[in-house]
Structure 1
Amino acid sequence: MKGSLAVLMLFACVFLMSLIANLIIGASAIHWQDVIGALFLFDPDSYDHFVVLYQRLPRALIAILAGSVLACGGLVLQGITRNPLASPSTLGINAGATLFVVAGAYSFDLGVKAQGAAALVGGTFGFLSCFVVARLAGLSRSPHSLALILSGALVSMLFIGLANAILLSDPARRTEFLGWITGNINHVYAERLYDFWWIGALALLCLLMSARPLTLITLGQEKAASAGVNVVWVSRIALVAVMLGSASAVAICGPVGFVGLVVPHIVRPLIGSRFEVSLPASAMMGASVCLLADLVARKAFDPYVLHTGLIMDLMGGLVFALIVKRYYLKSSSGREA
């Protein structure tokens, strides 16, 4: 327990340093005293205060919400499905939410709030589509449920392709959604954050409240049931929370990929599989990863600013290949030997 507490404190320190760096570093560095002044003693005549409060702080808050929700969602999905490759980006949730937002805006001219509702429906539809395709492909015959991930990849590519096709047919919408569809943490989405943050917060709260029964379920459904856990309902509630929380993050800043895949593999070796501690650890680490990725996106090619999703895809793609090699290729070579 002391070791877990120490690791949690370490993650908290990484999170705080990432947040401070995100507020201080930018096109021009702002002194930490000016950052504090902007947060607590805002001066409307100060350009630095304006930049901190209306540009850097909204970006940081979006990164914190998206990173924590997606990371916790990936942790829970990997635990429930017992699949190390499961995450909102690999099981169709992000892609489904993206397609429904773009299609709703194109077909029905949905406003920001209605787009959020479309994202929630789309995330659920994408997740269910992934399981339907996996079942039709013979999920039970696939070792380690590999068919589930392949189905998720197929569904995600199809939905993202359809969303891009819709945008290509409408130049006006393409300009509006070009940054969003690649996953972009940007202060211009502050209104979306204001409208949808509470969905992600409720999803995180629901997962934290379900942490103990989820831990028992990962130890075995029979053991969990003998301890008084309603396995079916707890699993369903957790999955709904993951779908709605992840879809709300997509509604805010687009599909920021691979956070939910990468972060659990960073957290579990250091803190273990107990959701009581791994969930808050994943939330802090996911927020830190998004904050740092956003910082890299802003400074790597200064004065040009990249989309945060591009940085996450680059990092996540490398980690994805390593995870596949560790959990699937090595196990296959071991069975052949």
Structure 2
Amino acid sequence: MEKRGLFLLAALPILAFTLAAHLFYGFRPAEIPGLIAAFLHFEAQSYEEAVLLFQRVPRSLTAIYVGSISATSGVVLQSLVRNPLASPATMGVNAGAAMFLVAGALLFNIGTGLQGAAALAGALAGFLSCVAVARFAGRQNDPRGLSLILSGALVSMLFTGITNALLLSDPARRSDFLSWVIGNINHAYIDRLAMFWWIGAASIAAFIVLARPLTLILFGAEKAASAGVNVPLVSRAAILAAVLGSGSAVAVCGPIGFVGLVVPHIVRPFVGNNLVFALPAAFATGAVICLLADLVARQALHPYVLSTGLVTDLLGGIVFVVIVKRFYLSPSNRETA
């Protein structure tokens, strides 16, 4: 209990410090007071202040949105699927959202608003395709949910291949999506955030409402049902919120991978499996990781700027290997498989 409380108490100050670093790192110390005043009044009177207000602030807001949505969705998916590898990136959600958005933009020339709707439809299609392939492969004989993860990898590779083929087929518009398709937190996407933020907010609200019944489901469907929980309805509503929230994040800045995979493993040792505490911890931790990843992407090769997705993929790839080794390749798990 003490460890959980300390983690939750520290989460907000750490998030505030990380946000400040993301906003002000790189400026000269003498410029900071003027920049803080410009930030408080949201009025730019110099080039540096314009950079802060019209580049740094939009990037920070986007990073917080994408990180928090991806992380909380990962916690929910791992809890319901009961597999430590479950996340929007590994279950076809991100790849499906990206494919549908690119297909809608290139083939049907749809605008930004409809691109968001296409991303939501693609996220749902990616998840349902993952489930369909898993059932075809015999998911009912797979209590550890490994078939879902393998199916998600297959679906993601297929959808990503189609997305790349579409981009190659239209050289005139390829540049519009080259950085977006690998996940790129960019101030230019603030209009997308303004359009789609409410979807993520609705998903977070749904997670908060469903946190207690979802925690009861973790202790067993029969126990949850005996406590009055409508297990099928709660599970489907939570998965739908996770899928649509993740789809909205993709619609904003492309598929930022592995945040939803990594964050649950960071917060779980501190706050446990109770989603009442795990969800706010994941919200803050996901935002911190995305802010740090974008800061690294922005400063690592300065004055050149990397795509944030490259940084999160590097981090996530390392953690993915550790998780597979711990949960699937250790001697004790091989014996119980």
* TM bin (shorter chain): over 0.9
- 2:185 aligns to what? 185
Structure 2: distance between partners of 1:285 and 1:20:
15
Paired residues of 1:271 and 1:277 also in contact (CA < 8 A): yes
**SS in structure 2 at match of 1:45:** coil
Shift in CA distance, 109/278, structure 1 to aligned 2, threshold 3 Å: same
- 2:162 aligns to what? 162
Amino acid at match of 1:163: T
Q: CA deviation at 1:14?
A: 1.6
Unpaired runs of 5+ in structure 1? none
- 1:255 aligns to what? 255
Shift in CA distance, 331/318, structure 1 to aligned 2, threshold 3 Å: same
Paired residues of 2:38 and 2:44 also in contact (CA < 8 A): no
2:205 aligned with 1:202: no
Amino acid at match of 2:161: G
Structure 1: distance between partners of 2:101 and 2:296:
27
Q: CA deviation at 1:30?
A: 7.7
2:57 aligned with 1:57: yes
Structure 2: distance between partners of 1:114 and 1:28:
42
Shift in CA distance, 30/156, structure 1 to aligned 2, threshold 3 Å: farther
Structure 2: distance between partners of 1:149 and 1:98:
19
Unpaired runs of 5+ in structure 2? none
Q: CA deviation at 1:34?
A: 3.1
Q: Could you report, residue by residue, the CA deviation over 1:300-320 in whole angstroms, capped at 9, with x for unpaired residues?
A: 111111000000000000000
Amino acid at match of 1:266: I
2:215 aligned with 1:215: yes
Paired residues of 1:73 and 1:260 also in contact (CA < 8 A): yes
- 1:91 aligns to what? 91
Paired residues of 2:327 and 2:333 also in contact (CA < 8 A): no
Aligned residue pairs, count: 337
Amino acid at match of 1:58: P
Amino acid at match of 2:293: A
Q: Map 1:126-137 to 2 at 5 A.
A: 126-137=126-137
- 2:290 aligns to what? 290
- 1:240 aligns to what? 240
Structure 2: distance between partners of 1:30 and 1:111:
43
- 1:45 aligns to what? 45
Q: CA deviation at 1:5?
A: 2.3
Amino acid at match of 1:44: A
- 1:24 aligns to what? 24
Per mean C-alpha deviation after superposition, the further-off stretch among 142-151 and 26-35 is 26-35
Amino acid at match of 1:216: L
Amino acid at match of 1:176: D
Paired residues of 1:72 and 1:260 also in contact (CA < 8 A): yes
Q: Map 1:305-320 to 2 at 5 A.
A: 305-320=305-320
**SS in structure 1 at match of 2:145:** helix
Shift in CA distance, 17/173, structure 1 to aligned 2, threshold 3 Å: same
- 1:108 aligns to what? 108
Q: CA deviation at 1:141?
A: 2.9
TM-score (norm 1): 0.96
Amino acid at match of 2:152: G
Structure 1: distance between partners of 2:150 and 2:34:
49
Q: Could you report, residue by residue, the CA deviation over 1:192-235 in whole angstroms, capped at 9, with x for unpaired residues?
A: 01100111111111101111111101111111111111111111
Structure 2: distance between partners of 1:157 and 1:28:
44
Shift in CA distance, 291/153, structure 1 to aligned 2, threshold 3 Å: same
**SS in structure 2 at match of 1:10:** helix
Q: Map 1:316-335 to 2 at 5 A.
A: 316-331=316-331, 334-335=334-335
2:318 aligned with 1:299: no
Q: Could you report, residue by residue, the CA deviation over 1:250-293 in whole angstroms, capped at 9, with x for unpaired residues?
A: 00010000000000000000111111111000000000000000
Q: Could you report, residue by residue, the CA deviation over 1:135-155 in whole angstroms, capped at 9, with x for unpaired residues?
A: 111223336221111110010
Shift in CA distance, 30/19, structure 1 to aligned 2, threshold 3 Å: farther
Structure 2: distance between partners of 1:327 and 1:88:
19
Shift in CA distance, 22/336, structure 1 to aligned 2, threshold 3 Å: closer
Q: CA deviation at 1:35?
A: 3.6
Paired residues of 1:27 and 1:303 also in contact (CA < 8 A): no
Structure 1: distance between partners of 2:159 and 2:54:
33
TM-score (norm 2): 0.96
Paired residues of 1:91 and 1:149 also in contact (CA < 8 A): yes
Structure 1: distance between partners of 2:43 and 2:336:
68
Amino acid at match of 1:196: F
Q: Could you report, residue by residue, the CA deviation over 1:42-73 in whole angstroms, capped at 9, with x for unpaired residues?
A: 33322222111110000000000000000000
Q: Could you report, residue by residue, the CA deviation over 1:4-56 in whole angstroms, capped at 9, with x for unpaired residues?
A: 22210112122111100000114767844334212222333222221111100
- Aligned-pair identity in percent equals 56
**SS in structure 2 at match of 1:144:** coil
Amino acid at match of 1:259: V
Structure 1: distance between partners of 2:331 and 2:288:
32
Q: CA RMSD in A?
A: 1.7
Shift in CA distance, 214/336, structure 1 to aligned 2, threshold 3 Å: closer
Q: CA deviation at 1:334?
A: 4.4
